Structure 1
Amino acid sequence: MLESFYQKKYTEAGLDEAGRGCYAGPVFAAAVILPVNFYHPLLNDSKQLNAKQRELLRPIIEKEAISYGVSQISNDEIDQINILKASIKAMHQAVDQLSPKPGLLLVDGNRFTPYKKIPHQCFVKGDGRYASIAAASILAKTYRDEWMNQLHKEFPYYGWDRNKGYGTAFHRKAIEEHGLCTHHRKSFRLLPD
């Protein structure tokens, strides 16, 4: 069962990203402040849920959250600044959208750059431990999946409606056959030299 909070004395926001390892598309991040008593039996790390469960939870999270923010950084900017910096920048932009501002940030993963004057705590696999991080993982994933489904309409031969830009065998074969498009991350060296 997910924990509701890390330190009860703070208003906490959970942060997570989606799409960090993808070959194409933006990286998305979300920040979520949940009420301390929030509970939903399905709430879990987005990777442990199927698409239908994530889509069911998204409007519940959006309605019940005290505040949430979702942000994205484009593949072009990822290529300019690198994926780690882009992921952290997206998280910072998601926190920018929160009102009220939290007293503590709970970050999924082990790397984060301090945000203004709000303390943070990193947790490896935090999306399977804290409800607010799990909620952020669901928002980041569903918003990104929705984005990639739209891009699929423009570039159907990459199969983004199924692989969401990840490096599946189908996606790699499509890159070999069709080359890269404007939405691919060129810094990821997706084509052989």
Structure 2
Amino acid sequence: MTVAVPRLTLERKLLRERSIVIACDEVGRGALAGPVAVGAVVLDARRARGRVPEGLRDSKLVPEPRRAALAVRAAGWVSVSAVGWASSAEIDEIGIMRALGMATIRALADLRAHGVVAEEAIVLLDGNYDYISPAGARGLDVRPVIKADRDCASAAAASVIAKVARDDLMVRLHDEHPDYQWSRNKGYASPEHREAIRARGLSPHHRASWSIADAPTLF
């Protein structure tokens, strides 16, 4: 099977409209436990003229042993990067789409702390829906692009950076709740994870509003 190689074709086009592109991608949306994370990276014209880091792909297409080193290279390639978070409790309270928007706004706030003016950028968002603006962002030029994390190198960089950050967090949370095997499944619905939920109930890090079959009440 041929693996798509992300390029900078779209970013170079967008950079003729604005001085920077901020690419965003989420990870953890479909998990049963843990936060959702949104990676955000800034790309300017100078970096867009350079070479894409070797091996850069959508995080789902990168073998786990290679992701951490690739995330370091990706972070060094872009101007600045950030990861924003929304907790499982926030997902329960406001729903996944609004939580994604909140996590993105937090990532953008981190970029702002590094001097990035998001209103001067085109925000390239992986997917077919702008979940940033409904969460309260104002004055942003958000461009949703289906499969941006596959086709656009900047979005692939955001994907890998966010994936490594979230996986690292889930490994740390595994030490608190080892029965769920988060070090292996990262909070997703593996058979061992579901069996632990049936046996032990939901931890404080689970998304209690999500449909988890046969789950006892929280402990």
Aligned-partner Cα distance in 2 for 1:15–1:60? 17
Counterpart of 2:73?
A: 60
SS in 2 for 1:176: helix
- Give the structure-2-normalised TM-score: 0.84
Question: What does the per-residue CA deviation read over 1:101-138, in whole Å, with 9 as the maximum and x for residues that have no partner?
Answer: 35100001112233321201111211001111101101
Shift of 1:14: 0.7
Q: What amino acid does structure 2 have at the position aligned with 1:2?
A: P
Counterpart of 1:105?
A: 123
Q: What amino acid does structure 1 have at the position aligned with 2:129?
A: R
Q: Which runs of 4+ in 1 moved over 6 A?
A: none
Counterpart of 2:27?
A: 18
Aligned-partner Cα distance in 1 for 2:193–2:205? 13
Q: Is the 2:7–2:52 Cα contact (8 Å) retained in structure 1?
A: no
Task: Identify the structure with bigger relative contact order (alpha carbons < 8 Å, sequence gap 6+).
Answer: 1
Question: What does the per-residue CA deviation read over 1:148-176, in whole Å, with 9 as the maximum and x for residues that have no partner?
Answer: 00000111110100100001111101100
- Indicate yes or no: 2:15 matched with 1:8: yes
Alignment of 1:93-172 (within 5 A): 93-98=106-111, 99-102=115-118, 103-112=121-130, 113-114=132-133, 115-172=137-194
Q: What amino acid does structure 2 have at the position aligned with 1:192?
A: D
Shift of 1:38: 4.2
* Range with greater deviation from structure 2 (82-91 or 144-153): 82-91
Counterpart of 2:38?
A: 29
Aligned-partner Cα distance in 1 for 2:182–2:161? 19
- Give the structure-1-normalised TM-score: 0.94
- In structure 2, relative to structure 1, the CA distance for the partners of 1:143 and 1:2 (3 Å cut) is same
Corresponding pairs, count: 193
- Indicate yes or no: 2:103 matched with 1:90: yes
**Identity of matched residues, %:** 35
Counterpart of 2:83?
A: 70
Q: Is the 1:22–1:167 Cα contact (8 Å) retained in structure 2?
A: yes
Q: What amino acid does structure 1 have at the position aligned with 2:154?
A: S
The gaps in structure 1 that reach 5 residues or longer are: none
Q: Is the 2:53–2:74 Cα contact (8 Å) retained in structure 1?
A: no
* Range with greater deviation from structure 2 (41-50 or 51-60): 51-60
C-alpha RMSD of the superposition? 1.5
Aligned-partner Cα distance in 1 for 2:175–2:27? 21
Q: Is the 1:42–1:53 Cα contact (8 Å) retained in structure 2?
A: no
Larger radius of gyration: 2
Q: Is the 2:39–2:81 Cα contact (8 Å) retained in structure 1?
A: yes
Shift of 1:189: 2.6
